[in-house]
Amino acid sequence: MISRRQLLAAMASTPIISMMGTGSAQALPNNDYKALVCVFLFGGNDGFNMLVPNDNEHYDEYASARPDIAIPQASLLPLSLNTGSNLTLGLHPSMADVQSLFDSNKMVAIANSGVLIEPSTKAGLEDGTHAMPPFLFSHNSQQAEWQRGWSGSTTTLGWAGRLMDVLSSDNEAISPTFSLNGYAQLLNGSTHSANLINASSLPQVNAINNDQRRKSFDQVMNLSPLTAFGREFDRVKDDSISIRNTLATAIDSVPEEGHFPDNSLSDQLHTVARLIKSSDQLGHQKQVYFVGLGGFDTHANQLDVHAGLMSTLSQSLAAFNQSMEASGLSDKVTTMTMSDFGRRLASNGTGTDHGWASNHLVMGGALNAGQLYGQWPSLILDGENDFNKGRMIPTTSVEQIGATIAKWMGVSSDSAMAYIFPNLANFSVQDLGFLK
């Protein structure tokens, strides 16, 4: 017999469905609201043209590795970060808004991070001593690996879903996870699934938009189906309409903000901001949001394409931060970037092919800002950090980043952290320290 959870999952892509949370978890204290916003950069962001070494020694190493697509040193936007060495860093010239976020201690960078099963060296990967993550350099697989947070497993759950299995409470009628960018494995939990929301508007059920039609609809819904499947299907339909109305009311209670730029990522983040500000109406103490921006598979014409994407990302993040600060919620909301993988250091002429490690950004008001997190790699082709052909081996794992955020969100027990990130025990540093 099909289970309720299987039915909900099967219906997740239909336009009126939002998923209800049903699981039990630890009770949360009042007034302890926190939200995580995950920004997925689909296609594989070139993190080493987003965050670039700016001192002469390290810049020369970078430029030698990618002479065709190196960002000119004079155009880099300088950052004042403690890197623990003579390394200095700059941002892509299209990211002036993100530079301001760094300057105001609302942004940190995590260097050379990506999917790992365990800490790995080039020699260990070559001789099999260290476990290789599966299906490296494949878009779909690595998107799933980032969102799974358990590299090497075949689970269909995501690490943020498991996080909310731990943190969500019994009395939440609506799931505390939301995707503004379609299905996201990241949000799959064992006790709930995500609300799927269109950034521009919530789906309408036009057939019941007046009193007479609603009356007729209710009469049909009151009929008793002959099968258990039919009864469950009707119940889920009724729940989905109720949830849709609740979410629409919550969003509509928060005025639109005119400072968000006109692009798809900003549209998603604008809706996230309105949902966060109405979280008390939904009864949530913890929430996770998923948004996305595509176009990062820059095999050709990378300098122009990537510049536009960096501008969109920078402006959108700054607009969202402005919204959170104006509402006094900045220290309650942490935003992080994700991506399939980085790009190869070596170019293929005007673009780059699929890589492995990349650099990522974390934004919010609860950061221990002013320093670089993670270990900056040697950018020498065929060097110690180059797996092959300019594909950087990560020195910081997805699990370490996620565990740092999970601890900030309220996960306090070792057993709960092990449920969320089963591979975390392989890493000696389990809290990177970028959150207070």
Which pLDDT value is given to residue 24? 34
Indicate the pLDDT class of residue 202, thresholds 50, 70 and 90.
Answer: low
In the chain, count of helices (H) and strands (E)? Answer: 14, 15
- State the first-to-last Cα distance of the chain, in angstroms, to the nearest integer: 47
Instruction: Give Cβ neighbours of residue 49 (< 8 Å, ≥ 6 apart).
Output: 69, 70, 71, 92, 302, 306, 343
Amino acid at 427: F
Indicate the pLDDT class of residue 318, thresholds 50, 70 and 90.
Answer: very high
Secondary structure class of 373 (helix, strand, coil):
strand
Which residue's entry shows tokens 């991506």?
A: 339
Q: What CA–CA distance (Å, rounded) separates 342 from 346?
A: 12
Which pLDDT value is given to residue 173? 83
Q: Using a CB cutoff of 8 Å and minimum separation of 24, what contacts does 226-230 make?
A: 228/1, 229/2, 229/7
Picking from 155-164, 202-211, 238-247, 282-291, which range would have the lowest pLDDT averaged per residue?
Answer: 202-211
In the sheet with 358-364, reading across from the earlier edge strand, the strands are: 195-196, 177-179, 286-293, 34-41, 333-339, 358-364, 107-114, 396-397
Q: So where are the chain's domains?
A: 33-207+262-426
Cβ neighbours, 10 Å, residue 318: 24
**pLDDT at residue 230 greater than cutoff 70:** no
Which pLDDT value is given to residue 11? 34
**pLDDT at residue 269 greater than cutoff 60:** yes
Which pLDDT value is given to residue 89? 98
Q: What CA–CA distance (Å, rounded) separates 69 from 298?
A: 11
Amino acid at 381: L
pLDDT in tens, 61-120: 999 999 999 999 999 999 999 999 999 999 999 999 999 999 999 999 999 999 999 999
Task: Determine the topology of domain 33-207+262-426 in CATH.
Answer: Alkaline Phosphatase, subunit A (3.40.720)
Instruction: Give Cβ neighbours of residue 162 (< 8 Å, ≥ 6 apart).
Output: 149, 189, 190, 419, 420
Which residue's entry shows tokens 């999970």?
A: 406
Reported residue count of the chain is: 436
Indicate the pLDDT class of residue 178, thresholds 50, 70 and 90.
Answer: very high
Largest CA distance in the chain: 75
What percent of the chain shows pLDDT beyond 70? 84
pLDDT in tens, 322-371: 999 999 999 999 999 999 999 999 999 999 999 999 999 999 999 999 99
Virtual torsion, Cα 233, 234, 238, 244, nearest 10 deg: 30
User: In sequence order, which ranges of 254-378 are alpha helices (DSSP H)?
Assistant: 264-277, 279-282, 302-326
Which pLDDT value is given to residue 31? 74
Mean pLDDT rounded to a whole number for the chain: 89
Instruction: Give Cβ neighbours of residue 102 (< 8 Å, ≥ 6 apart).
Output: 79, 80, 81, 91, 108, 109, 369
